Structure 1
Amino acid sequence: MSSFPLVTHPRAQDILAYGPAGPITVAHFLADVRQLAADLPPGRHVLNVCVDRYRFAVGVAAALLADKISLLPPTLTPEMMRQVKHFAPDVFCLADQPQAFDLPQLAWTGAQAAAAAAADAASATYDVPDIPAARTAAIVFTSGSTGTPVAHPKSWGGLVRSVRAEAARLGLLDGRRHSIVATVPPQHMFGFESSVLLALQSGSALSAAHPFYPADICAVLAQSPRPCLLVTTPLHLKVLLAAGLDIPAPDLVLSATAPMPPQLALAVEARLQAPLFEIYGSTETGMIATRRTTQTTEWSLFPGVALSVSQGRTWASGGHVESPMPMADELELLSSERFLLHGRSADLINIAGKRSSLDYLNHQLNAIPGVIDGAFFMPAEHDDVSVTRLMAFAVAPGMKASTLLAALRQRIDAVFIPRPLVLLAALPRNSTGKLPRDALQALASRHQRQGTPHAI
C-alpha cells in the first residue's frame, strides 16, 4: 500500500484515549492533531517529550500530518541533548511540562483545541488523514545499553505493518476494543509501538497515564475499562508482585525490554489470572516475534519476517523490516518461523576458557532470595597484560556481601564470582528498566576509585 490511515477506528465517536478528564473520542483527537499541526514551528525535527501519553500521540500525529519527523532519544541527559542538536540543528521541543533544554520550545496541553474538537464532533463527516507509507515518521535511537546511541529512521508504512502484525498476534483485531495501560514511556521504541501506535491501528484506546509505582499501576488498572492490556517490563512486574497490593487484573499482559525469567512469568499469570506474552525485537528492526513464556521457550516470528545467518551473524529481513538488519543477539534458528534466544552477543564472556553470558549471571544473582535487583558488569579491557574482572551490583536490603557471595558460589562457576560485589540502595535503571552501559561504567569507575565498605 502507498499510504495508511492515521487511525483505524470506524466511527468518529469511538474512544481513542482515556485522560484525566475522561474518555477522548477520535473526533477530538483528529481536531487536536490538525490544530497542533498548523501551529508547529518551521523546523523539520520534533523532540516530543510530552509526558501525557495522549498529548504525545497528538504530537506524533501532528508531526506526521505536517511532514515533520519525531525524534525519540533514549534519555534526556544534557549529553544526549547535545547529540540530538548536532544530529538535527533545526530541532524544536514539543512539551506539556516546562523543560530546561537549550532548544526552541512549543508548549502544548491540548486545552486550546477544545472548541475545534466540539465543532468536529458535531460534523457529519469523518475525515481520517492518509499518510504516505514512505514518509519518515520517526527517528528512534538505540538505548545505549551496549554503547553510543545510534539513529534509526522509521517509515510510517513500516511502523504500521509492525503494529498491525502485533495486534493480530495478540488478538486485538477480534472486534473487542482494548484499553491499553503502559508503565513504559511513549518515547521508547517498545512504548511507542505498543502503547501508542498499537491503539491507533487496532481500534483500541490508550491510557494517557504513565504509572510507574505499584500503587499508581493498580489505580490506573482499576480505572481502565475491560478488556485491558497491560504493557510493561519484567522489572515493573517484579516490583508490582512484591508490593503485596490488591492488583486489578488486566485481561492480557505484554512485556519487553529484557528477557522474562520463567519463574516470574509463572508468578505473574498465577497472580493476575491473565496470559503473559513477551515481545522480541530491537530498535533497529522493531518487533519481530512473540512467545507465551509460561508455555514455551521458543519465539514465533511475525508473518513475512525471516531470519538468516550470514558473515557469522543472524540477520532479520522481510515483513515490516524494510532492509536486512543484523541482530545483536545469539539466536538459534529452529525453523523458518521459530528460534531460541541465547542472549546478547556483546554479553558473552570468556574467562579462563570458560564461557557464560551476563544474562545468565544476572538471572542467577536475581534468583537469590532477598535480592531485589542485581546486575553483573564486565569492564572494558585496556591492555593484554592485566586481568579484567567481573563486577556485580546488587540491591539486597539486610544482606551482607559475604552472604550474597556464598549464595552465588552455589549457583555459578568460581571464575565468574564478581570482584567486587557492591551493595547499593538502587541500580541506575532508566524508565524502561534498562541499565545503559555508560551508567554501569560510571558506577563501576566510581567504586573502583573510591572503594566501598560494602564491596568484597
Structure 2
Amino acid sequence: MMSPTPEAHALPLLAHASLEAPLAWRADGPISAARFLADARRVAALMPAGGHVLNVCADRYRFTVGLAASLLAGKVSLLPSTHTPETVRQLRHFAPDAFCLTDSFPCDIALLQMAWPELAPAEDAGPVPTLPPDRLVAWVFTSGSTGAPVPHAKRWGALVKNVRAEAERLGMLVHPHALVGTVPAQHMYGFESTVLISLLAGGSFWGARPFYPADIVAALEAIPSPRVLVTTPFHLRTLFSAELPVPPLDLLVSATAPLSANLAVDVETRLGCPLIEIYGCTETGQTATRRTALTAEWQLFPGVRLSMEDGRAIAHGGHVEAPTPLTDVVEPTAADRFLLHGRTADLVNVAGKRTSLGFLNHQLNAIPGVVDGSFFLPDEDDSDGIARLTAVVVAPGLDRSHLLAALRERIDPVFLPRPLLFADALPRNATGKLPRAALAALLGGGAA
C-alpha cells in the first residue's frame, strides 16, 4: 500500500462552515470569509518577488489578508517585536529579499515597500487553501543578548495544533465567537489569539485595533454575541478607570503580564464573564491557561509538559516542536499544572513587550561615545505597581538628548530609560559584572 502524499495531510487555512460567514467586522458591517479569500488572492498577485514579508499593517483585517496572501504567494512573514531602524537593519541581514507591506503613509521602514492596494468588493473566493503541516509560515524574533534578533520558526501544523487547543480550552469551537483585540496582530499573543484563532475556529474579529477605552467599547458594540475581548492588564486598568458602560461580554482573555487575583475577581464581577489568562512566550507560543479569579495554578495545553533541569523549566510535547527552556521561574505542581513565581533576572516586560537587559545593554554600549553603561530595573514602585527602567552611563562629551535619540534608533520606545543618569564610572567587580547592590547604591547616591 502506498504511503499518503504530503498533500493528504494538508490543513485548511479556514475552518468556517460557510464562506458566507463573517470573518471580520467594520463599522459598516461584516466582511465574509469569501471576501477575505478573494482579497488575499488579489493581494498575493500584486506582491513583489521577495521571499520574505515584513507585514506592518496596523489594521487587523489588512494584516490577516497580507498573511494569507503571503502564504498563497509562497512567502514567509517576518514578525519582529519592534520596527526600529536597527531592527530593520538586522532583518535585512537575515532576509535580504524582504519587502514591507504597509497601510501607513508615509512609512519610514527602510525596505522595498508595497503599499496596501485599494480593493473593490469581490466574492470570487475560489477554494479554501490548504497548507502542509511543515509549511514555514513566519519567523518570529526575540531579543538576543548580542543585539541580533534571534529567529524562531513557526510552521503551519504546530500553529494549527496550538491554536485549536486554545480555542477548545476557551470554549470557542462550539459556537463562532466575535472578538475585539487591543494587541497588535504582529505580537505573538495577538497573532495567535486574534488572527489565527479566528481563522481556525470559524470565528471573526473587529478589523481595527482599538486602543482608547471609548474605541474599545464602540468596537464591542459593533460585533455580535458571543463577544470576546482579547486584551492586556494595562488595557483592562485603563478601561476600568474610564468608567464607561461595557457591552455584555461572554469571555475576556488577558496575557503579556500576570494579573493579580484581586484584579481578576474585580474584572469578573464588573464585567459578568469569566477571565482567562494565557501563559506563553515567543519561543513556544501559548502553553497554558488559568482562570485567575479561581486559582493560581496554570494548566498546560494538551500534550505539553514541563521538565526541570538545573532548576530551569523545559517545555516539550504537544505543539512545542523541540524542548525549549522557559525564561520564567515556575514550579510544577502536577503533570499538567504549575505555579508561576516571576521572571528571571534578565527578562524585562514593559507595557506587554518583552526584551532582555542584555539586549538593552548591548544597544546602549554600541552608541559611539559611550564608554560604559547599564540598564537597571529597580524594584516596583508600590504606589502604582510599575517598575521603570533606569540606565546609568559613562559617556563624556554626550548629553542626555543625544543619547536618548540614539537609543530610540535602536530599541523600542517603551524601553527608553526613565531616568537616564550619568556617572564617572560604574562599580564593576573583578569579573566585570555589576552587582545589583552596588548599582543600587550608585543610584541611591545620586549619579549626575
TM-score range, shorter chain: 0.7 to 0.9
Q: Does 2:105 correspond to 1:118?
A: no
Residue 11 of structure 1, CA deviation: 1.0
Residue matched to 2:280? 281
Residue 310 of structure 1, CA deviation: 2.0
Task: Decide which of 89, 108, 111 is 1:103's aligned counterpart.
Answer: 111
8 A Cα contact 1:72 1:141, kept in partner? yes
> What does 1:363-382 align with in structure 2 at a 5 Å threshold?
none
Q: Report the residue type matching 1:15 in the other structure.
A: P
8 A Cα contact 2:390 2:418, kept in partner? no
Alpha carbons of 1:320 and 1:441: their partners in 2 closer, same or farther (altered >3 Å)? closer
Alpha carbons of 1:196 and 1:169: their partners in 2 closer, same or farther (altered >3 Å)? same
8 A Cα contact 2:390 2:420, kept in partner? no
Residue matched to 2:81? 74
8 A Cα contact 1:2 1:134, kept in partner? no
Name the CA distance, whole Å, in 1 between partners of 2:275 and 2:144.
27
> What does 1:17-56 align with in structure 2 at a 5 Å threshold?
17-56=24-63
Residue matched to 2:19? 12
Aligned residues: 387
Of 98-107 and 300-309, the range deviating more from structure 2: 98-107
8 A Cα contact 1:195 1:231, kept in partner? yes
Q: Does 2:268 correspond to 1:260?
A: no
Residue matched to 1:94? 101
Residue matched to 1:207? 206
Alpha carbons of 1:36 and 1:442: their partners in 2 closer, same or farther (altered >3 Å)? closer
Residue 447 of structure 1, CA deviation: 3.6
8 A Cα contact 2:79 2:186, kept in partner? yes
Gaps of 5+ in 1: 121-125, 349-357, 363-376, 395-403, 421-427, 429-435
Name the CA distance, whole Å, in 2 between partners of 1:390 and 1:318.
34
Instruction: Report SS of the residue matched to 1:151.
Output: strand
Provide the aligned C-alpha RMSD in A.
3.6
Name the CA distance, whole Å, in 1 between partners of 2:124 and 2:72.
20
Residue matched to 2:420? 446
> What does 1:398-409 align with in structure 2 at a 5 Å threshold?
none
Cα deviation 1:426-455 (Å, max 9, x = unaligned)? xx9xxxxxxx99767741562446999xx9
Q: Runs in 1 of length 4+ with deviation above 3 angstroms?
A: 143-149, 377-380, 387-394, 436-442, 447-452
Q: Does 2:135 correspond to 1:135?
A: yes
Q: Report the residue type matching 2:239 in the other structure.
A: L
Q: Report the residue type matching 1:118 in the other structure.
A: E
Residue 81 of structure 1, CA deviation: 1.2
Residue 54 of structure 1, CA deviation: 0.7
TM-score, normalised with respect to structure 2? 0.78
Name the CA distance, whole Å, in 1 between partners of 2:291 and 2:128.
35
Alpha carbons of 1:330 and 1:267: their partners in 2 closer, same or farther (altered >3 Å)? same
8 A Cα contact 1:281 1:288, kept in partner? yes
Residue 219 of structure 1, CA deviation: 1.0
Residue 266 of structure 1, CA deviation: 1.3
Q: Report the residue type matching 2:166 in the other structure.
A: E
Alpha carbons of 1:145 and 1:393: their partners in 2 closer, same or farther (altered >3 Å)? farther
8 A Cα contact 1:392 1:419, kept in partner? no
Residue matched to 2:378? 391
8 A Cα contact 1:250 1:274, kept in partner? yes
8 A Cα contact 1:329 1:344, kept in partner? yes
Residue 93 of structure 1, CA deviation: 0.5
What fraction of aligned residue pairs are identical, expressed as a percent?
50
Alpha carbons of 1:242 and 1:271: their partners in 2 closer, same or farther (altered >3 Å)? same
Gaps of 5+ in 2: 1-7, 351-356, 366-373, 392-403, 405-409, 425-441
Q: Does 2:33 correspond to 1:59?
A: no
Alpha carbons of 1:62 and 1:419: their partners in 2 closer, same or farther (altered >3 Å)? closer
Residue 247 of structure 1, CA deviation: 1.7
Residue matched to 2:178? 179
Residue 390 of structure 1, CA deviation: 6.2
Residue 260 of structure 1, CA deviation: 0.9
Name the CA distance, whole Å, in 1 between partners of 2:375 and 2:59.
44
Residue matched to 1:241? 240
Q: Report the residue type matching 1:92 in the other structure.
A: F
Residue matched to 2:152? 152
Residue 66 of structure 1, CA deviation: 1.6
Alpha carbons of 1:236 and 1:320: their partners in 2 closer, same or farther (altered >3 Å)? same
TM-score, normalised with respect to structure 1? 0.77
